[in-house]
A and B are shown apart, each in its own frame.
Chain A
């Protein structure tokens, strides 16, 4: 149980184009999903917290107009990198928290999406 998937696993795009990454909780409902970014050989940095049916909460320094997040259902959140540039190249990882109440529930992580912008 508690499986989170991401699609695509790897994407290469040209500079200036937009890329959409999907995060799905496969066997549970997630009221909250999180989006992280990981640079090579570095730790994960939280980008934003996504709550189903409401606007995402972005961390300081993360451009909300560049990284569009939609959490339309209890099993799906999407991250769209708009007008991507080479500096956006990174490993993007999502996580999902079960909709069972409480604030200390475990987060389950997706396998990540590697984005390369040429």
Chain B
């Protein structure tokens, strides 16, 4: 069975400061990991994905995430937050052989202040 834990339900940062959204996963097999962003009343947009290639994954809008197997983590970072980054972020895991069945974390709401 696979699961995802997003450690913070809400994160607030000032514009221009770094962003760290934490995610830990549990998976019986080699997982694929994703970060999706959801703006209010919108669908989900893929930020980045890890599929057993390079452990440091670069995504869109300056975001990146590092897959750490020893820590079972896949934290999302960005060096400098922008007001437009304010949204809900979901960490997602998919196990090999599950026909792409995704398991979502509970989400982290990122607030960016001036």
**Is B43 within 8 A of A93, CB to CB?**
yes
Whether B32 sits at the interface, judged by CB under 8 Å, is: yes
Which residues 37-70 in A have Cβ within 8 Å of B in the complex?
42-46, 49
Q: Considering only CB atoms, which chain A residue lies closest to B4 in the complex?
A: A43
Chain B CB count within 10 A is highest, among A46, A95, A107, for A107
A103-B46 Cα distance, complex, nearest whole Å: 17
Across the two chains, which residue of chain B brings its CB closest to A102? B100
Q: State which of B19-27, B65-73, B101-109 sits at the interface with chain A.
A: B101-109
Interface residues on B, range: 20 to 34
Interface SS of chain A: strand
- Whether A109 touches B90, Cβ cut-off 8 Å, given contacts A43-B106, A104-B96, is no
23 A-B contact pairs sorted by A residue (CB < 8 Å):
A6-B43, A34-B100, A42-B107, A43-B90, A43-B105, A43-B106, A44-B90, A44-B104, A46-B101, A46-B102, A49-B99, A103-B96, A103-B98, A106-B34, A106-B46, A107-B100, A109-B36, A109-B43, A109-B44, A109-B46, A111-B42, A111-B43, A112-B43
